Amino acid sequence: MNKELKTRLQDVAKHSGVSMMTVSRVLNKNGMVSDKTRAKVQVAVKELNYRPNVSARRLASSKSFFLGLLYDNPSTSYVSQFLLGSLKFCRASGYHLVVDEADNDLAKTLKSVKELINITQVDGLILLPPVCDIPEVLDTLTTANIPFVRVSPNSQLHISPYVCMDDYQAAFEITEQLINQGHINIAHIIGHPDVGASRLRYQGFLDALRSNKISVPPEYIEQGYFTYKSGLSAAQKLLSLENRPSAIFASNDDMAAASISAAHMNNIQVPSALSVVGFDDTSLASTVWPHISTVRQPIQEMAKMAVELLVSGKFDDPTSTKKSDLRHVLDFEIIQRESSAELR
């Protein structure tokens, strides 16, 4: 560790002719500094390419500069994408990320949460679905007064800031695209019942059909669990129906991939005899053949937003924030690939 190289707060202070404390205030954006001094300091920071020492900061301040990320067990690629995104933005803001997997067991999950709070002393927590909807976890955090951000939560939307995308609208649009391609017999594989997005996507699907005056027979709706396996058995049922659907909308890519497999197994050509669309645009969507038409979720952007919300400190005082500021919706994108096509 080369000590000569590092610029310290003192160097910046000397260079701009003020005290260390003033520089500190400028960097932490709290406290009051006149515009003139602030500008002066900022110039010095830039010129010296100063980067604060996270450890010294953490040691001296009441903040830990740690954020926690708690994930459950959705698709691996979803978690890893989110993870990479948040690591990147944490680093940019001088924070560190402590990652923990929530166990299936509620008691263990709560233990993890408490350890993050008491031992690691995180400044805030990011909760991925479906952990973000476990009431006991939310209670623990609220009681401990730890700020947290939830990703695509399902319930109790007023208790914390959250990032999400418009699952309903995306489902509506991708369904409508199938309709525009001439499909009428469209089946749906619902996502995991514990994940709120599943319901929204299902609703979007239904409403798209309704607004186009298309009715859905009940046997066109199958319950899945976001896993390949569940998708496979759902698709098998759909494809063995008397009146086989010409298109399947699966609530995520894993189940869409499974639908394609099921089609292969039954010698049904995709997309000529069956169109399949998924949701999420995980790497899987372009790793199976044919590539899956899907909805791109901006996972990295969601991670960035989640980190930013915590870092900003805007929500540190839970009583002072208005409901309207809690919701942060990011844009999606419909991706047309080879697994869906015009009905012939």
Partner DNA sequence: ATTTTTCGTGTTAGCGCTATCATATTGTTC
Partner DNA sequence: GAACAATATGATAGCGCTAACACGAAAAAT
- Minimum CB separation of residue 95 from DNA in Å reads 13
Amino acid identity at 163: V
Asked whether the beta carbons of 255 and 228 are under 8 A apart, the reply is yes
- Minimum CB separation of residue 312 from DNA in Å reads 16
Dihedral angle sign, alpha carbons of residues 10, 15, 18, 24: negative
- Minimum CB separation of residue 107 from its own copies in Å reads 19
Measured from the CB atom, the residue of 59 and 107 that comes closer to its own copies is 59
The answer to whether 320 contacts its own copies (rule: CB under 8 A) is no
Using CB distances below 5 to 8 A depending on partner kind, what does residue 289 bind out of DNA, its own copies, none? its own copies
Using CB distances below 5 to 8 A depending on partner kind, what does residue 327 bind out of DNA, its own copies, none? none
Measured from the CB atom, the residue of 4 and 105 that comes closer to DNA is 4
The answer to whether 80 contacts its own copies (rule: CB under 8 A) is yes
Cα–Cα distance list, 85 to 53, 97, 101 (Å): 23, 11, 17
Query: Residue 130, preceding bond cis, omega within 30 degrees?
Result: yes
Q: What are phi and psi of 52, to 5 degrees?
A: -65, 150
Which residue ranges make up the site for DNA (CB under 7 A)? 3, 6, 8-10, 17-25, 27-28, 31-34, 36-38, 52-53, 56-57, 59-63
Residue by residue, DSSP assigns 159-201 as: SS-EEEE-HHHHHHHHHHHHHHTT---EEEEE--TTSHHHHHH
**For every residue of 107-165, which 3-state class applies, written as one string?**
HHHHHHHHHHHHCCCCCEEEECCCHHHCHHHHHHHHHHCCCEEEECCCCCCCCCCEEEE
Using CB distances below 5 to 8 A depending on partner kind, what does residue 283 bind out of its own copies, DNA, none? its own copies
Please list, in sequence order, all residues whose beta carbon lies within 8 angstroms of the beta carbon of residue 211, skipping any fewer than 6 positions away: none
Determine which residue in the list 34, 35, 62, 107 makes contact with its own copies, applying CB under 8 A: 62
Residue 91 CB neighbour total at 10 angstroms: 12
Determine which residue in the list 21, 54, 92, 106 makes contact with its own copies, applying CB under 8 A: 54
| Span near its own copies by CB under 8 A; candidates 23-31, 57-65, 187-195, 271-279 | 57-65
Measured from the CB atom, the residue of 37 and 261 that comes closer to DNA is 37
**Burial letters 96-105, b for 16+ CB under 10 A, else e:** ebbebebeee
- Minimum CB separation of residue 288 from DNA in Å reads 49
> Between residue 230 and residue 289, which ones bind its own copies under the rule CB under 8 A?
232, 254, 257-258, 261-262, 264-265, 267, 283-284, 286-289
Query: Token match 């089946």: residue?
Result: 187
Using CB distances below 5 to 8 A depending on partner kind, what does residue 80 bind out of its own copies, DNA, none? its own copies
The DSSP letter of residue 31 is S
User: With CB under 8 A, what is the number of residues at the site for its own copies?
Assistant: 46
Whole-angstrom distance, CA of residue 213 vs CA of residue 333: 25
Whole-angstrom distance, CA of residue 289 vs CA of residue 200: 28
Determine which residue in the list 14, 38, 96, 314 makes contact with its own copies, applying CB under 8 A: 96
Using CB distances below 5 to 8 A depending on partner kind, what does residue 228 bind out of its own copies, DNA, none? its own copies
Residue 144 CB neighbour total at 10 angstroms: 14
Using CB distances below 5 to 8 A depending on partner kind, what does residue 118 bind out of its own copies, DNA, none? its own copies
Q: Which of 178, 204, 208, 196 is nearest to 277 (CA)?
A: 178
Determine which residue in the list 99, 157, 214, 343 makes contact with its own copies, applying CB under 8 A: 99
- Site residues (CB under 8 A) for its own copies? 1-2, 5, 51, 53-56, 58-59, 62-64, 76-77, 79-81, 83-84, 87-88, 91, 96, 98-99, 101, 118-119, 121, 228, 232, 254, 257-258, 261-262, 264-265, 267, 283-284, 286-289
